[in-house]
């Protein structure tokens, strides 16, 4: 999966055709392997030993 966060802030808004930040929305995108949504190879319960930690 992926995580994202907004970088910086701005009060400049462009209102046409709809309200958006004037120079786009600056965001940081990073891969997060602790999130598994609809991927082949996602772990299932029988792939883990009792000592493994699973973060969902």
Q: Model confidence over 42-56: pLDDT tens digits?
A: 665 554 444 444 333
Query: Buried (b) or exposed (e) across 3-23, using 16+ Cβ within 10 A?
Result: eeeeeeeeeeeeeeeeeeeee
Q: Residue 37 above 80 pLDDT?
A: no
pLDDT of res. 55: 39
Residue 19 or 43, more confident: 19
pLDDT of res. 49: 46
pLDDT of res. 23: 83
How high does pLDDT run on average in the chain? 73
């Amino acid at each position: 999966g992926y995580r994202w966060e907004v970088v910086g802030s701005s009060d400049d808004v462009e209102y046409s055709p709809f309200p958006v930040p004037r120079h786009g929305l600056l965001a940081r995108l990073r891969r997060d392997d602790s999130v598994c949504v609809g991927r082949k190879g996602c772990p299932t319960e029988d792939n883990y030993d009792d000592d493994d930690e699973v973060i969902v």
